[in-house]
Structure 1
Amino acid sequence: MIKKSKKLSIKTIAKLSGVHFSTVSKVLNNYTKEKISDKTVKKIQQAVKKTGYRRNLLASRLRNGMDFIAYIACDYSEINNPFRQEIMGKIQAYLGKCGKNIIYHEHTEDLPDFMQNQADVSLYKGIIMTGNSGTLLPQVPGLAVLELFRKTPSMPGASVLMHDENQAAELALDMCREKKIRKIKLIAVKQVSDTIFRSELLKKKAGSRPGISITCEVFNTREEIYSLDGMAARKLCSGCDLVFVLAPFGMRMYHLLVSSGIKIPEDIYFLLFDDLSSNRFLFPEVSALGLDYNILGQKVFDFFFKNEKPAALKIPCVLNIRKSLT
């Protein structure tokens, strides 16, 4: 690691990355109005890690009059997850309506390194963690981190965001009963452990609902789904009434089915778990289970600004029914 000095600045990061310092600033501030390539973002992140560069958050905070919330992904696959980024955007918007100026920073560094730097950590109003946290299993990193925060009084408030998985499963199965959907094909990925948990939960709950049959196709990685062609996807989903993809990567499966000639919803219903804004701009519009963002914003507000103890925030879900289910 390059030895840090008083002269280390975003211009140093820009020089190492081969980009203009304004581009570095946009990446560090999560500026989304201008598209910056993944390759450029990765180069900047590598330069930041190599130099050990840390922004002067105190100066930024005083200059902008903002409270900072840190967003920490408990595994690196979560860093560029569009759903996680959308969650933080919704939180930011809700708190803004409540008169709280906040900005969130994504941390790609190792969590122990982040926590050891007391000077930085103390500047944050709170810390939100995501990353395979929804299952509430003992080995989940985010929940283990909460225990560490509880034992460290000097740390700011910390929270793991998670779906109310039981309620989400009930919503999906109730919808199937109302629409007389009998055969459900679940799509899960081992690489995304939440999807495995959801598939097992749905199969368990469906066992007490006569007439509903669930089969599950489990891929090892997201890349396996992306490598499918339209005919392979069509064969995979043959004979089912509903395709239920248990994470946002279902957009790929949706496009594959449509490209193979399957008509949605005439031939087959389609449902996603996790609702992205882009779902509304597809044709036909994609139905999805998503977080109730009003409750999400309220819970985060209460947690960070009413001095509640570190906790796992379980957020209710809503079933957004669009054209793919009508």
Structure 2
Amino acid sequence: MLSLRMTKLLLRRLLETIPVLFILATMAFFMMRAAPGTPFDKEKEVAPHIREAWEKQYGLDQPMLVQYGQFLGVSPRPNGEYRGLLHGDLGVSTTYTGWDVDELMAQKIPISLELGFYSLVIAMLIGVSAGVLAAWRPHTLTDHLPMSLAMLGICLPTFVIGPLLILYFALDLQWFNVSGWTFASDRVLPSLTLGLFYAAYLARLTRGSMLEVRNMDYMRTALAKGVSGWRVYGVHGLRNGILPVISFLGPAAAGLISGSFVVETIFRIPGLGRFFVEAAINRDAMLVIGCALFYATLLVVLNMLAEIVQAAMNPKLRFA
């Protein structure tokens, strides 16, 4: 169980998140309103009275402060309703007529979360295994080879890894589809593209932490008592050596999900990342703000989960 102090810390972090999200939503609102153009610039040329009717429908004909009040929900919308951020309502989309922002996001979030989960599993399996193997015999081939591949993975961004995987596995070997999210096999290449990038960071981080742990007193004591080297290294050492990796997994998991913009665009995946990019291009302010709030909240939740896991594995944190 978590100590009382740890519980208070997590609750305080949660309460501190509320003003941060409010400031983020405010900044996103004014930045989208300050951007040149309107949500209707890509429409066919229409009569001025029709454009005026559209702007009135969405409240875009009002002064900026009035629009901000409608966004928060402290001022009535053009239809007289009080709907806004403070009421848990992000409003309607200007791109997808008749759809609420939360309804649109509810369709896309599961896809991005699924892609992020598969990518995180791949990153952990490859990254942690490569880091442990490299630290097992430092300055040998088993160390230099995985670390060289990890450095290569760090240098290659996802928009390079993705097309290379498509070129070889989809076009040459024809094992997978080039794009889409229909079949189970469609998950493989996008997940590898995201997972390999973060696996490189996890491999180097795991190697460094395991090298520090293997020289500690309790490791030498266990070896002196006759415990097998692999058990000492793979069980006792990994338990403490994995702690820095767990602290990195919080922002890494959020980065996997929020960093899927490029991957979802390359593989034509109908996820929230691609939705976010299209909303920004179409100047759909409410949809952009909703996506930004989701990613920010996700980052906070994942960091808190990483702290809880750390406390569960490290007695010093539980009883501090």
TM range (shorter): under 0.3
The structure with higher relative contact order (CA 8 Å, sep 6+) is 2
- Report the structure, 1 or 2, having the larger strand content: 1
The structure number with the bigger radius of gyration is 2
Tell me the TM-score normalized by structure 1: 0.23
Q: Determine which structure has the larger helix proportion and give its number.
A: 2
